[in-house]
Structure 1
Amino acid sequence: MTRTLFITGASSGIGAETARQAVAGGWNVALMARSREKLTALAGELGDAALAVPGDVTRMDDLDECVGRAVDRFGGLDAAFANAGRGMSRPGTEDGDLDDIRGMIDLNVTALVQTARATLPELRKTQGTLVLTGSGAGRRHIAGSIYGATKWFVHGYAGNMAEEMREWGGRCCVVAPGMVDTPFFADGAPDKLQPQDVAAAIMQMIDAPPRANIREIFLMPQD
């Protein structure tokens, strides 16, 4: 039976590459992001195993609708990847724009919890896996980094959810990459990790046998 993975932040970078590797590995994928055009193009590339479900993860109604469409199309969810997130245009507590700070926290923290809230009822049915995108920035202190603090939340939440989900046979995992060459960095990061490196780690977590919960994979560039 083909399994199904729900991905937020799926239109580019790590999310898009995870979708490609999942389909190559025999999974169906439901792709959520705000960019309808990019999602449609990616779903067209991936074929019948992919469903584009455009929406805004900061809106609970959008998440519920997108999860519902995925379940209607594929029959259920076996894994979810809460990947949507962003940084700030001007980092720092004193220099950062307050609206920018609020928007980042809403996406990196609140929307991540909302993604778990929307997908958990389906994951419980399949004893499925929830994967969260953390960061190397969430494993060390960086001077004044509010972005890093949001990723500390992700790591703590992942551990708490792993304890909750194991009660019914589910798993929660966090992938924590260092700098990755994605649109997240305006000038790119070609000498750093590539999206396919992170996607391979995610596939390892969701393909692991039910007896094994790979709670965290921490990737850093070798150079």
Structure 2
Amino acid sequence: MTQTLLITGASSGIGAATARAAVKAGWQVALLARSRDALEKLAAELGDAALALPCDITERDQLSEAVAKTIERFGGLDAVYANAGKGSSSPGIEQGDPDDWHAMIHLNVLAVLTTAHATLPHLRKTKGHFVVTGSKAGRDHMKGSVYGATKWFVQGIAGNLAEEMREWGGRCTLITPGMVDTPFFDEPKPDKIQPDDVANAVVFALSQPRSADVREIHIMPSG
């Protein structure tokens, strides 16, 4: 039976790479992001196994509608990859931009919570899997990094969610990469982790037998 994976931040980088890897592994994918053109192009590439759902996941009504459309199209939900996130150009806390922090915290923290809140009732039915993108920045202290602090939250909530889902047979996996060569950065980083590397880790976690609960996969650039 074909399984369904919902991916946020699916229009580029890690999200798009994960969509391709998941479809190759036999999954159906619901693709969520704000960029309609990029999503529809990716969905066309992936064919009938993909559903493009342009939306802003920081808007709870839009997120709930996208989840409902996923269920309507595919009949259920087996896994979620909460991948959407953003960085900050603020140089630190004293000189930082509170408006910039607000937008970043809304996406990196609150949207992870609301994505879980909107999808857990459906994952409970399938004893499903919730995967979330953390960061090496959520494992280390970095001078003045509010972005890093948002990823410390993700580090914590993933462990707490794993314990909650464990009660009904679900699983939660945290993916914590170091620097990844994605549009997140202004300049290409060809010597760093590639989006396909992270995508492969996600598919690996999803493919593990019920006897194995992979709680975290930490990836660093080689060398």
The two structures have a TM-score, normalised by structure 1, of 0.99
Cα distance in 1, alignment partners of residues 92 and 52 from structure 2: 35
Cα distance in 2, alignment partners of residues 180 and 95 from structure 1: 26
CA-CA distance at 1:149 after TM superposition: 0.5
The one-letter code matched in structure 2 to 1:18 is T
Cα deviation 1:123-181 (Å, max 9, x = unaligned) = 00000000010001111111111100100000100000000000000001100000000
Cα distance in 1, alignment partners of residues 44 and 58 from structure 2: 25
Structure 1 match to 2:168? 168
Cα deviation 1:71-116 (Å, max 9, x = unaligned) = 1000001000000000012231122211101100000000110000
Structure 2 match to 1:120? 120
Whether 1:49 and 2:49 are equivalent positions in the alignment is yes
Cα deviation 1:37-94 (Å, max 9, x = unaligned) = 1000000000000000110110111111000000100000100000000001223112
Cα distance in 2, alignment partners of residues 112 and 87 from structure 1: 15
Cα distance in 2, alignment partners of residues 8 and 129 from structure 1: 14
The one-letter code matched in structure 1 to 2:161 is M
Cα distance in 2, alignment partners of residues 186 and 221 from structure 1: 18
The one-letter code matched in structure 2 to 1:161 is L
The one-letter code matched in structure 2 to 1:23 is V
Cα distance in 1, alignment partners of residues 74 and 16 from structure 2: 19
Map 1:83-122 onto structure 2 (within 5 A).
83-122=83-122
* C-alpha contact (below 8 Å) 1:15/1:83 kept by paired residues: yes
The one-letter code matched in structure 1 to 2:163 is E
Give the stretch that moved more between structures: 61-70 or 89-98.
Answer: 89-98
Let me know the Cα RMSD of the aligned residues. 0.6
The one-letter code matched in structure 1 to 2:116 is A
* C-alpha contact (below 8 Å) 1:79/1:128 kept by paired residues: yes
Cα distance in 2, alignment partners of residues 96 and 198 from structure 1: 30
SS of residue matched to 1:53 = strand
Residue identity (%): 63
* Structure 2 unaligned blocks of 5 or more: none
The one-letter code matched in structure 2 to 1:54 is P
The one-letter code matched in structure 2 to 1:154 is V
Structure 2 match to 1:220? 220
Aligned residues: 223
Map 1:1-223 onto structure 2 (within 5 A).
1-223=1-223
Cα distance in 2, alignment partners of residues 188 and 114 from structure 1: 31
CA-CA distance at 1:21 after TM superposition: 0.3
Cα distance in 1, alignment partners of residues 131 and 12 from structure 2: 17
Cα distance in 1, alignment partners of residues 81 and 69 from structure 2: 16
Cα distance in 2, alignment partners of residues 5 and 184 from structure 1: 23
Moved over 4 A (4+): none
SS of residue matched to 2:54 = coil
The one-letter code matched in structure 2 to 1:37 is D
